[in-house]
């Protein structure tokens, strides 16, 4: 469990990539898809094409040196992906790499990390959804806060996420099935909100989710409907325990039962109790 958790934390390098930009030299230490070296991330700009990429960690240099650009992707691809492929080809034709070293800068314009600037960048944005701000205001442990942040950003390694990243083990529909119900593809929304297993957990807690909504809206509306204090703490802990039950099934072959989830949830609530002072959230 612990090692799996740290794999998720390592995903926070996404955050580092969000605040660092590369001035391209040779392009050999820059990941073409997920590092920021032009105006936007390639994986975002060409998101349809990215779903078919064989090696998401390919460097800019290797990408430039690939003679047949289609060899970098699983085929066949969608029409949209094909359109993006031709645009990418044009981008690469206009790209110049040099023999200099690649250089990294923080996007506030210097090579030095400053936590105050990072804080402003991450937490003081005007458009941060309420549901994200509530994470940091909650009394949960930092580990659970980061988990919830990853959940809301859809950065958890669900099977659907692994498929989208081109993981070879998760390219067939039957490899992406939810291990809690064996009925649907394991997306973030399915696993935490729409799965019959999760629905039973939420029913016990009297938390109701609106269907087919964006995650931030779901959370904001559920909080209004809940009408009780500590909604965010209960939501975060319950979701965390669903994630652990799911991981227990995959990595330790532990049978997922509602009883086990209830026990773990109660234990986690107990561990958190001393962190929560009196007064509603
Ligand atoms: Zn399910």
Q: Distance between CA atoms of 147 and 236, rounded to whole angstroms? A: 8
* Higher-scoring residue by pLDDT: 261, 97: 261
CA–centroid distance, 183 to ligand 1, in Å, is: 6
CA–centroid distance, 94 to ligand 1, in Å, is: 46
Query: Mean of the pLDDT values across residues 228-241?
Result: 96
CA–centroid distance, 199 to ligand 1, in Å, is: 10
Q: Are 62 and 42 in contact (CB under 8 A)?
A: no
Main-chain phi, psi angles of 119, to 5 degrees: -60, -50
pLDDT in tens, 32-44: 887 778 877 788 7
Instruction: Tell me the residues surrounding ligand 1 (ion) with CB < 5 Å.
Output: 178, 180-181, 195
pLDDT of residue 115: 57
Residue 2 confidence (pLDDT) above 50: no
CA–centroid distance, 258 to ligand 1, in Å, is: 13
Chain-centroid distance of CA 187 in Å reads: 11
Predicted model pTM: 0.57
* Higher-scoring residue by pLDDT: 247, 120: 247
CA–centroid distance, 195 to ligand 1, in Å, is: 4
CA–centroid distance, 211 to ligand 1, in Å, is: 15
Residue 209 confidence (pLDDT) above 70: yes
């Amino acid at each position: 469990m612990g090692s799996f958790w740290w794999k998720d934390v390592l995903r926070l390098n996404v955050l580092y990539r969000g605040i660092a930009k590369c001035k391209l030299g040779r392009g050999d230490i820059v990941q073409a898809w997920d590092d920021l070296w032009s105006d936007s991330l390639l994986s975002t700009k060409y998101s349809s094409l990215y779903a078919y990429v064989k090696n998401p960690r390919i460097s800019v240099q290797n990408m430039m040196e690939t003679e047949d650009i289609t060899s970098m992707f699983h085929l066949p691809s969608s029409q949209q992906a094909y359109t993006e492929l031709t645009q990418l080809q044009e981008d690469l034709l206009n790209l110049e790499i040099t023999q200099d070293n690649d250089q990294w800068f923080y996007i506030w314009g210097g090579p030095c990390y400053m936590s105050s600037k990072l804080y402003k960048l991450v937490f003081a944005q005007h458009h941060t959804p309420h549901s994200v701000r509530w994470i940091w205001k909650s009394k949960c442990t930092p580990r659970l806060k980061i988990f919830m942040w990853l959940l809301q950003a859809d950065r958890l390694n669900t099977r659907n996420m692994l498929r989208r990243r081109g993981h070879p083990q998760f390219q067939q529909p039957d490899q992406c099935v939810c291990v809690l119900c064996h009925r649907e593809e394991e997306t973030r929304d399915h696993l935490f909100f729409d799965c019959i297993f999760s629905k039973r957990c939420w029913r016990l807690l009297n938390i109701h989710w609106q269907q087919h909504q964006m995650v931030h809206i779901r959370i904001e509306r559920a909080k209004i409907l809940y009408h009780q204090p500590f909604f965010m703490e209960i939501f975060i802990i319950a979701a965390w325990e669903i994630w652990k039950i799911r991981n227990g099934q995959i990595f330790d072959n532990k049978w997922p039962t509602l009883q086990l989830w209830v026990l773990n949830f109660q234990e986690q609530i107990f561990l958190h109790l001393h962190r929560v002072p009196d007064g509603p959230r």
